[in-house]
Amino acid sequence: MWRKPMLLLRLGSGYGTNMWVCPLWGKHLLCWVSERWDQKLLVVPRVLVCMSSHMILMLQQDRARAIGVELVSFEEALATADFISLHMPLTPATSKMLNDDTFAKMKKGVRIINVARGGVIDEEALVRALDSGIVAQAALDVFTVEPPSKDSKLVHHENVTVTPHLGASTKEAQEGVAIEIAEAVVGALKGELAATAVNAPMVPAEVLTELKPYVVLAEKLGRLAVQLATGGSGVKSVKVTYASSRAPDDLDTRLLRAMITKGLIEPISSVFVNLVNADYTAKQRGLRIAEERILLDGSPENPLEFIQVQIANVESKFASAISDSGEIKVEGRVKDGVPHLTKVGSFEVDVSLEGSIILCRQVDQPGMIGKVGSVLGEENVNVSFMSVGRIAPRKQAVMAIGVDEQPSRETLKKIGDIPAIEEFVFLKL
């Protein structure tokens, strides 16, 4: 906002002249990064440009809790902000978001910075707000029509600082865009999640980072569940339960549902499932996925406590995977950033979801772990984890064994021939 002082200095003046500038000390900045009007806003005390300030960010409630900030309404944010910086895309929802009505709600003397898209501001309304003093100054590098007309009232307004819209025209920006595109393409080819897919639900990068281990957990639970079903192609009805201390509105499960769908479909078909086509592919195959959320008491620091996947109306290759209510049920959670299988049917287990898994139902008696381990060792199959869950001592138990290699049929048959082993199944992750 140094247009007038800059001109005065170039003319050999400026010192001792009344230059009305605005310090940032104690001011409020509204950093507007969302296209939605109905979201709550956050007040985040933080240092801005080495000066004490406040920043108001339009973000999700779970992020607010995570960083310990105060939520305020949209109207309160407009009425409080001394500076408003715009950083949203131009969509039908954001077109002319700043107009006569929104300017009327703003604090008199507000300063507007728009480096997003020109169309998000009604330029004629901005001129009126500048003339009336509602907006003290504006800084723009984007316009509704680019380049703006030579006689544009906005461009020539004495309280407006303008520059051409450079976009990604700098050398550094071009290199950054090229690297970002290359990394996104490589990640997509590897089957990784893409935060910038244009035809998929938009998932912010920070949410992707937080959910990454739960995304892996969701897919692997889907893979386990469908492999436990006899004739996996007959799976039509699936129920997914998310247990979390976060309110339902603070946990977007679209990504998790897509990965569960991926896990359910890919092991039994040649279809490649991703965030873009997951819902469509499920619908094509007649797969119905119902979601349920359990709200837990406690800290919402972690997005999820556990995920449970149930498949109804099918038989199981592993009878112990059938819960008391008659569905195939697997449950897992993330421990220290690593997905774990924690329940099969009614049996509690605890095995890291790495490599592949052998599930054995057995009579609970001494020596079983050693016998199964010896069979695998003799065949050079490395055991990574082993866990036993039982209903009661000396009754039935389920052993979950993580293995690095796929055992041969002969090795699996040797495990099945152990007298106390009642059933077993190999599951490839």
Query: What residues form DSSP beta bridges with 241?
Result: 292, 308
* CA neighbours closer than 13 Å in the CB half-sphere of residue 179: 6
Task: Give just the sign of the alpha carbon dihedral 303, 87, 43, 129.
Answer: negative
Q: Is 165 a catalytic residue?
A: yes
Nearest C-alpha neighbor of 308 from the set 341, 281, 282, 286: 341
Active-site residue (options: 63, 87, 165, 293): 165
Nearest C-alpha neighbor of 153 from the set 113, 124, 181: 124
Phi first, then psi, for residue 359 (nearest 5°) are -105, 130
Q: What is the DSSP string of 297-330?
A: SS-TTSS-SEEEEEEES--BSSGGGB-TTSSEEE
Task: Give just the sign of the alpha carbon dihedral 392, 312, 229, 269.
Answer: negative
- Tell me the CA end-to-end span of the chain in Å, nearest whole number: 58
CB 56, CB 42: distance < 8 Å? yes
Q: Is 146 a catalytic residue?
A: yes
CB 288, CB 314: distance < 8 Å? no
Active-site residue (options: 54, 65, 111, 117): 117
Exposed/middle/buried for residue 182 (C-beta within 10 Å: 0-12, 13-18, 19+):
exposed
Token match 């490599």: residue? 355
Nearest C-alpha neighbor of 119 from the set 149, 141, 97: 97
Q: Is 254 a catalytic residue?
A: no
Active-site residue (options: 70, 146, 183, 301): 146
Q: Looking at the annotation, which residues are catalytic?
A: 117, 146, 165
